[in-house]
Structure 1
Amino acid sequence: MRTSELAAQAGVNPQTLRYYERLGLLPEPGRTPGGYRSYPPEAVRLVRFVKRAQELGFTLSDIADLLHLAEGGPQSCAAARDLAANKVVDLNRRIADLVAMRDALEQLVATCAKPRELRDCPILGEIARQSGHG
């Protein structure tokens, strides 16, 4: 199948396919006699796998590792589990950071109704505290 067909079926743009090829996530396809790229049908599954892994928060480097692991046996399952467990730890840290940011913004919004001399800016205070200037 041609680049445009693969891109349409996988839900990406053609430049994404070329980028994945450069990174080694998608094998370089054969060429037609006219010089067009000719992807095998399983390329759709592969590109969808990459996109879904990105949606789950995996980096393209992580995805390269997952694709390599997908070719292996039982040991690969343990390694994939470890990658996913590390991603969960990272996501939990980022969620905690986002919750703290949300709480700080909610506090800031709540102070806006107070008289100017009673207002406290938790964002500026927290930035100053974390940077050692508060």
Structure 2
Amino acid sequence: MPSIGEISRRTGIKIPTIRYYEQIGLLPEPGRSAGNQRVYDQAMLQRLSFIRHARDLGFPLADIKELLGMADDPDRSCAAADVIATRQLASVKARIARLTALQQELERMLTQCSHGTIADCRVIEVLGNHDLCVHDHAE
């Protein structure tokens, strides 16, 4: 049975994060060795890999907790999982749209800059006055 350090190396999740996942209930309390060290089994390794992949895809911890609950009940309908994934996709698309607007605004600022002195710098001017922006990119 691997230790927390070995599990950390295998999953790429830092030890304090693994402990945090235990505290908030994403992971069950691990068993203990004779020396009172945490020991993890294959199921916990798979669960941590699931969490890591879900985090890489941007899912919030609350959604991951709900998805893990669903994964623990394999005969359940996947409709609720689809709802969560659809919501996450919408969130990602909204972030992409916002980042695209930011990219366009930065490109426009740089294109309009005369590259002279700060007194005539379009970048400084636009950063000082949001009304000069074409896109609404504020959060």
Question: TM-score, structure 1 length as denominator?
Answer: 0.83
Higher mean C-alpha displacement, 10-19 vs 46-55: 10-19
Distance in 2, Cα, partners of 1:118 & 1:112:
6
Number of equivalent positions? 128
* Gapped regions of structure 1 (runs ≥ 5): none
1:100 Cα deviation (Å)? Answer: 0.8
Which runs of 4 or more aligned residues in structure 1 lie more than 3 Å from their structure 2 counterparts after TM superposition?
Answer: 114-120
What is the identity, as a one-letter code, of the residue corresponding to 1:74?
R
Q: Does 1:124 align with 2:130?
A: yes
Q: Does 1:92 align with 2:93?
A: yes
Map 1:16-95 → 2, pairs under 5 A: 16-72=17-73, 73-75=75-77, 77-95=78-96
- Identity of aligned pairs, percent? 34
1:114 Cα deviation (Å)? Answer: 6.7
Task: Judge conservation of contact 2:7–2:40 (CA < 8 Å) in 1.
Answer: yes
Change in CA separation of 1:24 and 1:110 when aligned onto 2, cut-off 3 Å? same
Question: TM-score, structure 2 length as denominator?
Answer: 0.81
**Post-superposition CA distance 1:19-76 (Å, at most 9, x none):** 110111111111112111111122111111101001111011110011011122232x
Comparing both structures, which one devotes a greater share of its residues to helix?
1
